[in-house]
Amino acid sequence: DAGITQSPRHKVTETGTPVTLRCHQTENHRYMYWYRQDPGHGLRLIHYSYGVKDTDKGEVSDGYSVSRSKTEDFLLTLESATSSQTSVYFCAISESKASGDYNEQFFGPGTRLTVL
Protein backbone atom coordinates (compact mmCIF):
# COMPACT_ATOMS: atom_id res chain seq x y z
CA ASP A 1 0.00 0.00 0.00
CA ALA A 2 1.10 3.54 -0.67
CA GLY A 3 2.24 5.27 2.49
CA ILE A 4 -1.10 6.70 3.52
CA THR A 5 -2.51 6.43 7.02
CA GLN A 6 -5.67 7.82 8.56
CA SER A 7 -6.45 8.48 12.19
CA PRO A 8 -8.54 7.66 13.99
CA ARG A 9 -9.82 4.58 12.19
CA HIS A 10 -13.07 4.58 14.12
CA LYS A 11 -14.81 7.32 16.03
CA VAL A 12 -18.15 7.74 17.72
CA THR A 13 -19.16 11.24 18.70
CA GLU A 14 -22.21 13.25 19.61
CA THR A 15 -24.10 15.80 17.59
CA GLY A 16 -22.66 19.27 17.94
CA THR A 17 -19.12 18.26 18.89
CA PRO A 18 -16.10 19.16 16.75
CA VAL A 19 -14.23 16.32 15.07
CA THR A 20 -10.88 16.30 13.26
CA LEU A 21 -9.71 13.49 11.03
CA ARG A 22 -6.09 13.22 9.99
CA CYS A 23 -4.55 11.93 6.79
CA HIS A 24 -0.81 11.39 6.72
CA GLN A 25 1.30 10.44 3.69
CA THR A 26 4.94 9.53 3.29
CA GLU A 27 4.96 9.72 -0.52
CA ASN A 28 5.53 13.48 -0.83
CA HIS A 29 2.63 13.65 -3.31
CA ARG A 30 1.32 17.08 -4.16
CA TYR A 31 -2.41 16.39 -4.25
CA MET A 32 -4.54 15.18 -1.36
CA TYR A 33 -8.28 14.58 -1.22
CA TRP A 34 -11.01 13.83 1.26
CA TYR A 35 -14.01 11.74 0.20
CA ARG A 36 -17.00 10.40 1.99
CA GLN A 37 -18.46 7.03 1.07
CA ASP A 38 -22.18 6.42 1.53
CA PRO A 39 -24.45 3.65 0.23
CA GLY A 40 -26.17 4.72 -2.95
CA HIS A 41 -23.86 7.69 -3.42
CA GLY A 42 -20.49 6.08 -3.97
CA LEU A 43 -17.55 8.34 -3.17
CA ARG A 44 -18.07 12.08 -3.15
CA LEU A 45 -15.30 14.63 -2.95
CA ILE A 46 -15.42 16.90 0.11
CA HIS A 47 -12.27 19.01 -0.25
CA TYR A 48 -8.93 18.68 -1.92
CA SER A 49 -5.50 20.23 -1.70
CA TYR A 50 -3.03 21.02 -4.45
CA GLY A 51 -0.21 22.10 -2.19
CA VAL A 52 0.66 23.38 1.26
CA LYS A 53 -2.01 25.88 2.32
CA ASP A 54 -3.72 25.49 -1.06
CA THR A 55 -7.16 23.90 -0.78
CA ASP A 56 -10.46 24.02 -2.59
CA LYS A 57 -14.00 22.76 -2.20
CA GLY A 58 -15.39 19.60 -3.65
CA GLU A 59 -18.91 18.42 -4.33
CA VAL A 60 -20.09 18.11 -0.71
CA SER A 61 -18.07 20.65 1.26
CA ASP A 62 -20.82 22.16 3.45
CA GLY A 63 -20.14 21.53 7.13
CA TYR A 64 -16.49 20.61 6.54
CA SER A 65 -13.21 22.52 6.59
CA VAL A 66 -9.68 21.41 5.83
CA SER A 67 -6.13 22.49 6.47
CA ARG A 68 -2.78 21.54 5.07
CA SER A 69 0.17 23.12 6.86
CA LYS A 70 2.64 20.44 5.77
CA THR A 71 2.96 18.36 2.62
CA GLU A 72 2.39 15.14 4.53
CA ASP A 73 -0.72 16.05 6.53
CA PHE A 74 -4.24 16.92 5.43
CA LEU A 75 -6.80 17.51 8.18
CA LEU A 76 -10.56 17.33 7.81
CA THR A 77 -12.61 19.12 10.46
CA LEU A 78 -16.30 18.88 11.20
CA GLU A 79 -16.88 22.05 13.21
CA SER A 80 -20.17 20.83 14.67
CA ALA A 81 -20.91 17.23 13.76
CA THR A 82 -24.39 16.23 12.61
CA SER A 83 -25.95 12.80 12.14
CA SER A 84 -25.90 13.32 8.37
CA GLN A 85 -22.12 13.29 8.56
CA THR A 86 -22.09 9.69 9.74
CA SER A 87 -20.07 8.05 7.01
CA VAL A 88 -16.82 6.41 6.04
CA TYR A 89 -14.18 8.99 5.16
CA PHE A 90 -11.36 8.23 2.77
CA CYS A 91 -8.25 10.20 2.12
CA ALA A 92 -6.45 9.88 -1.20
CA ILE A 93 -3.25 11.21 -2.74
CA SER A 94 -1.90 11.65 -6.23
CA GLU A 95 1.01 13.26 -7.95
CA SER A 96 1.30 15.45 -10.98
CA LYS A 97 1.92 13.44 -14.08
CA ALA A 98 3.60 14.43 -17.26
CA SER A 99 1.30 15.16 -20.14
CA GLY A 100 -0.24 11.96 -21.46
CA ASP A 101 0.01 10.05 -18.18
CA TYR A 102 -2.96 9.01 -16.12
CA ASN A 103 -4.08 10.46 -12.82
CA GLU A 104 -4.07 7.52 -10.43
CA GLN A 105 -5.19 8.18 -6.89
CA PHE A 106 -4.02 6.08 -3.94
CA PHE A 107 -6.38 5.64 -1.02
CA GLY A 108 -6.02 5.42 2.70
CA PRO A 109 -7.73 2.75 4.83
CA GLY A 110 -10.70 4.92 5.77
CA THR A 111 -12.19 6.31 8.98
CA ARG A 112 -15.60 5.17 10.12
CA LEU A 113 -17.35 8.08 11.85
CA THR A 114 -20.63 7.72 13.71
CA VAL A 115 -22.43 10.82 14.92
CA LEU A 116 -25.11 10.06 17.51
Partner 1 sequence: AQRVTQPEKLLSVFKGAPVELKCNYSYSGSPELFWYVQYSRQRLQLLLRHISRESIKGFTADLNKGETSFHLKKPFAQEEDSAMYYCALSEGGATNKLIFGTGTLLAVQP
Interface ranges with partner 1 (CB under 8 A): 1, 31, 33, 35, 40-45, 48, 50, 56, 58, 90, 92, 94, 96-97, 102-110
Q: Which is nearer to partner 1, 56 or 79 (CB)?
A: 56
Pick 9 or 70: Cβ nearer partner 1 = 9
Least Å from the CB of residue 42 to partner 1:
4
Smallest gap from residue 66 Cβ to partner 1 (A):
14
Beta strands of the chain (E only): which ranges?
A: 4-7, 10-13, 19-25, 31-38, 42-51, 54-57, 64-70, 73-78, 87-94, 106-107, 111-115
Sign of the four-CA dihedral 9, 2, 64, 62: negative
Whether the bond between 109 and the residue before it is cis, its omega within 30 degrees of 0, is no
Question: Based on CB atoms, which residue is closest to partner 1, 69 or 96?
Answer: 96
Least distance in Å: CB of 116 to partner 1? Answer: 23
